[in-house]
Structure 1
Amino acid sequence: MKIEHCKKEIKDYYINCKEEEVFNKLLYAREERADLIRNLSEKYKKTVICIRANYPGLYKINEESIKIVATLLEEAKEVFKGSITYDLYNITYEGPIAILIIDKTSKEVKRGAVKIEELHPLGRLADIDVYDELGIGISREEVQIARRRCFLCENEAHSCVRSKAHRLEEIKDYINKIVEGYGKE
Structure 2
Amino acid sequence: MRSTRLPVFRSRLSSRTRSLLSSSTVTAPSLTSSARSSRNYLDARDSRQDALAQALSAGHRATLFMSLNIPGQEKTPPGAEALFSWMLGEIASVFPRRVVLIAACDLLGPYSILGIDGEPESIKRRCVELEALRPSARLVDLDVYAVGGVQVDRAALGLPSRTCLLCNERAVDCIRSKRHAFEQTIGKVHELLAPFRA
**What's the TM-score bracket when you normalise by the shorter of the two chains?**
0.7 to 0.9
Pair 1:74 & 2:83 matched: no
Percent identity over paired residues: 25
Paired residues of 1:23 and 1:58 also in contact (CA < 8 A): no
Determine the C-alpha separation between the residues in 1 that align with 2:54 and 2:62.
12
Give the counterpart of 1:31 among 18, 43, 46: 46
* Alignment match, 1:142: 156
Give the structure with the larger helix fraction. Answer: 1
Q: Any idea what the Cα deviations from partners look like across 1:90-137, whole Å, max 9, x if unmatched?
A: 211111112211111110110011001112342211211111121121
Q: Counterparts of 1:28-107 in structure 2 under 5 Å? A: 28-82=43-97, 84-107=98-121
CA RMSD of aligned residues (A): 2.2
Q: Counterparts of 1:163-174 in structure 2 under 5 Å? A: 163-174=177-188
SS in 1 for 2:163: coil
Determine the C-alpha separation between the residues in 2 that align with 1:73 and 1:49.
11
2:140 corresponds to which letter in structure 1? Answer: A
Determine the C-alpha separation between the residues in 2 that align with 1:164 and 1:58.
17
1:76 corresponds to which letter in structure 2? Answer: I
Pair 1:133 & 2:147 matched: yes
Aligned-pair CA distance for 1:64:
3.3
1:3 corresponds to which letter in structure 2? Answer: R
Aligned-pair CA distance for 1:152:
0.7
Q: Any idea what the Cα deviations from partners look like across 1:27-63, whole Å, max 9, x if unmatched?
A: 1111111121122112224311112212112332333
Aligned-pair CA distance for 1:140:
0.3
Aligned length: 178
Gaps of 5+ in 2: 1-9, 14-24
SS in 1 for 2:52: helix
Q: Counterparts of 1:1-12 in structure 2 under 5 Å? A: 3=12, 6=26, 9-10=27-28
SS in 1 for 2:111: strand
* Alignment match, 1:118: 132
Determine the C-alpha separation between the residues in 2 that align with 1:59 and 1:20.
16
1:50 corresponds to which letter in structure 2? Answer: F
* Alignment match, 2:192: 178
Determine the C-alpha separation between the residues in 2 that align with 1:137 and 1:130.
6
SS in 2 for 1:86: strand
Gaps of 5+ in 1: none
Determine the C-alpha separation between the residues in 1 that align with 2:87 and 2:196.
12
Paired residues of 2:79 and 2:197 also in contact (CA < 8 A): no
Paired residues of 1:29 and 1:94 also in contact (CA < 8 A): yes
Determine the C-alpha separation between the residues in 2 that align with 1:144 and 1:40.
27
Determine the C-alpha separation between the residues in 2 that align with 1:57 and 1:33.
18
Paired residues of 1:88 and 1:100 also in contact (CA < 8 A): yes
